[in-house]
Structure 1
């Protein structure tokens, strides 16, 4: 093909550039919503907010590179996450108002199968939202978890949680 003025071959942007732009746009929107929520829905200080939203989005691109999230995994994760959060909150509340509730505390071990570093961190954080659990230590693939009732089916919940988090990340 001859490159003549007006007949130049169109070059499409590299896939990495497009993914980076999408990632930046997502973070910009996310931090914008967070700012809006913290400002109580007021747009009065939006110029200052815009500065911090842009700074947060740019900084996050350097500090936490793209995470290869899969949006189709969100519908399976969000209701599950909200359900676990509600159950965890109710469990703590019931124990606070009924101090005589018997406890069978213990430490359980779970072998984490997630390979993606961010998926592993998310898993450790969300484990602490499960009813009666708190992540204690992650060493290599082994996660130590403190439980309030060792008789509960914690391993089943952990495997289900891990499966749902895995669906959020491309590997």
Structure 2
């Protein structure tokens, strides 16, 4: 029985890791194109807080992005903070994981000031800059680099240092 559970878990993790590159692309597209938000949200429909912290963070981002297009202000606000709760849960669970921090800074940088969800930008910025060389996934490293180079929270000097790595 233990062998079967281990086999299923291993296969599930392998399948999820293969899809992670697709999730990253979908996140980037959804952040820049409202027509891609629904597909991104559906992609992560089955993710729960028991999933890997990376997928939990992306699920939070998908909910927050979807909330942006809700019909009422109340639905927008509730949806946004529902999404944020997933992101914060992922970071609380694994504070040294790079990808949830990457997701959070992107959401915080682009959230409206009225929502007051900008407290961790400097913390996450420093975290990403310090951990950039430790990112083993070339796919993730490319996404983080692309984000930093287009972001308004990173200085030209910080962008240059990342661009030279």
- Normalised by the size of structure 1, how large is the TM-score? 0.27
- Normalised by the size of structure 2, how large is the TM-score? 0.27
Q: Name the one with the larger strand percent.
A: 1
Larger Rg: 1
